[in-house]
Homo-oligomer: A and B are copies of this chain.
Amino acid sequence: MNQIVECVPNFSEGRRQDVIDGIVGTMQEVVGVRILDVQADVDHNRCVVTMVGELEAVAEAAFRGIARAAQLIDMNHHRGAHPRMGATDVVPLVPVRGVTMADCVAAARELGRRVGEELGVPVYLYEEAATRPGRRNLADVRRGEYEGVRDAIATDPTRAPDFGPSRLGSAGAVAIGARPPLVAFNAYLNTADVEPAQAIARAVRHSSGCFRFVKALGLLVEGQAQVSMNLTDFRQTPVHRVLEAIRSEASFYGLQVTHTEIVGLLPSEALIDSARFYLQLDGFSTQQVLENRLFGEE
Residues of A within 8 A of B (CB): 1, 4, 6, 34, 36, 52, 96-97, 181, 187, 239-240, 243, 257-262, 264-268, 271-272, 274-276, 278-284, 288-294, 297
Contacts and interface: CB of A to CB of B under 8 A. Distances in A.
A271 B266 contact: no
A290 B6 CA distance: 9
Contact of A290 (B268, B275, B280, B284): B268
Q: Is the contact region of chain A dominated by helix, strand, or loop, or is it mixed?
A: mixed
Contacts of A291: 4, 97, 267-268, 291
Contact of A275 (B258, B275, B294): B275
Q: Which of A266, A276, A283, A294: most chain B CB closer than 10 A?
A: A294
B276 A4 contact: no
A257 to B, nearest CB: 6
B52 A279 contact: no
Contact of A280 (B52, B260, B268, B284): B260
**Total copies of the chain:** 2
Contact of A271 (B4, B260, B276): B276
A34 B283 contact: no
Given A280-B259, A297-B34, A290 B266 contact: yes
Contact of A278 (B34, B258, B265, B274): B274
A264 B293 CA distance: 12
Nearest to A278: B278
A294 to B, nearest CB: 7
A281 B268 contact: no
Contacts of A267: 289-291
Contact of A289 (B1, B261, B271, B283): B271
A97 B243 CA distance: 30
8 contacts: A6-B290, A36-B293, A52-B290, A96-B290, A187-B280, A259-B283, A271-B272, A275-B278
A271 B275 contact: yes
